[in-house]
Structure 1
């Protein structure tokens, strides 16, 4: 296995990880930002207020983007396993 193959696999793995985690983390980030702005505008300083909207936003992203995320990880896994014989040589 050459260093180029290892770097290519690492790059693909990081790219898939970014695509899997990105939408979920961005939804949580923007929801937290909106709730923080709402709390600052209304001066409601409840620490537990951010949890329910974040959970709902992450759940909504998982429902909407779930099929795409699953196909992304299964395609990557399939490509990885089918390339194992090529990597050994």
Structure 2
């Protein structure tokens, strides 16, 4: 197994990781920013006010994008498992 092959596999895995986690992270970031602006304007600094909306947003995104995420990960794992017999020695 050549170093170039291992680096290519690692790069594909990291790209997949970023692609699958991006929707959840982006939505939670936007919700957190909106809640932080709201807290700064109203001067209400309650910890649950920032935690609960982010949790709800993350669950909604996982419910909507979850099937796509799972399909993408399963396809990648299937490709990796099918590649095992063809790996260079």
Q: Shorter-chain TM-score category? A: over 0.9
Moved over 2 A (4+): none
The 1-side partners of 2:29 and 2:73 are apart by 23
SS across alignment from 2:17: helix
What residue in structure 2 maps to residue 17 of structure 1? Answer: 17
Ranges in structure 2 where 5+ consecutive residues have no aligned partner:
none
Deviation at 1:79, TM superposition (A): 0.4
Deviation at 1:41, TM superposition (A): 1.1
What residue in structure 2 maps to residue 34 of structure 1? Answer: 34
Give the alignment's TM-score, normalised by structure 2.
0.93
What residue in structure 2 maps to residue 46 of structure 1? Answer: 46
What residue in structure 2 maps to residue 3 of structure 1? Answer: 3
What residue in structure 2 maps to residue 57 of structure 1? Answer: 57
What residue in structure 2 maps to residue 72 of structure 1? Answer: 72
- CA deviation vs aligned residue, 1:15-72 (integer Å, no higher than 9, x gap): 1111122111111111110000001111111122111100010001001101110011
Ranges in structure 1 where 5+ consecutive residues have no aligned partner:
none
How many positions carry a matched residue from both structures? Answer: 89
Deviation at 1:88, TM superposition (A): 4.1
Could you say what the CA RMSD is over the residues aligned between the two structures, in angstroms? 1.0
The 1-side partners of 2:4 and 2:88 are apart by 14
